Chain A
Amino acid sequence: NAGVTQTPKFRVLKTGQSMTLLCAQDMNHEYMYWYRQDPGMGLRLIHYSVGEGTTAKGEVPDGYNVSRLKKQNFLLGLESAAPSQTSVYFCASRKQGAGSGYTFGSGTRLTVV
């Protein structure tokens, strides 16, 4: 039982390049989320999913796309990376039902130069 696994852990991109961050969970959780964490700003929600085949926008969705083709995977894509997307990205999942807490992945540190 690995919990929530994020790949890669680190990445450096050049402005304009694209990449995909992968989040995988083995807990059969319905809900999955992508957050970004910047110094002094806490965690901000980018996109989330309430189940396989569904996605929705969070607080800061611009410049990102997501897909949830399989229940256990939630992919975050950057089509044309910008320096403003330099951040630490966390994936989280939780089971269905009110009041259940998140399980976070270990994070991806992305630098766009």
Chain B
Amino acid sequence: GENVEQHPSTLSVQEGDSAVIKCTYSDSASNYFPWYKQELGKRPQLIIDIRSNVGEKKDQRIAVTLNKTAKHFSLHITETQPEDSAVYFCAASLGSARQLTFGSGTQLTVLP
């Protein structure tokens, strides 16, 4: 099966700075990589995703990059704001139902 590792587990940045979260995956057949944001007590919400035939995708202040050769992908958040504080999960999709395997999460804290 797929294995996804996520780093760091906690990340604190000053408001306005950038934040980067990195994930590696084990199965080269994985072809879809979403990122979810989860606020305390809430459900995970999809914030951006990337398919394996694309190297980079951007949506306003967030971007995701994918390196298929190295089997890693990263989330970049620029101009961070206090409302960006949350737990972020990466995931990789594999299997007959394209089920997602999740990383262990990164607690991002944006300090005002």
Binding site for B on A (CB under 8 A): 31, 33, 35, 40-45, 48-50, 56, 58-59, 90, 94, 98-99, 101-102, 104-107
Contacts and interface: CB of A to CB of B under 8 A. Distances in A.
Nearest to A94: B98
B43 A101 contact: no
A43 B43 contact: no
Interface string B74-106: 000000000000000100010011111111110
Interface residues of B, number: 25
Closest 9 CB pairs of A and B: A42-B102, A104-B43, A42-B104, A101-B46, A43-B102, A99-B32, A50-B97, A99-B51, A106-B43
A48 B105 contact: no
Given A42-B105, A45-B101, A59-B101, 16 more contacts: A33-B97, A35-B102, A42-B6, A42-B102, A43-B100, A48-B97, A49-B97, A56-B96, A59-B1, A90-B44, A98-B31, A99-B32, A99-B98, A101-B34, A104-B44, A106-B43
Contacts of A58: 99
Contacts of A90: 43-44
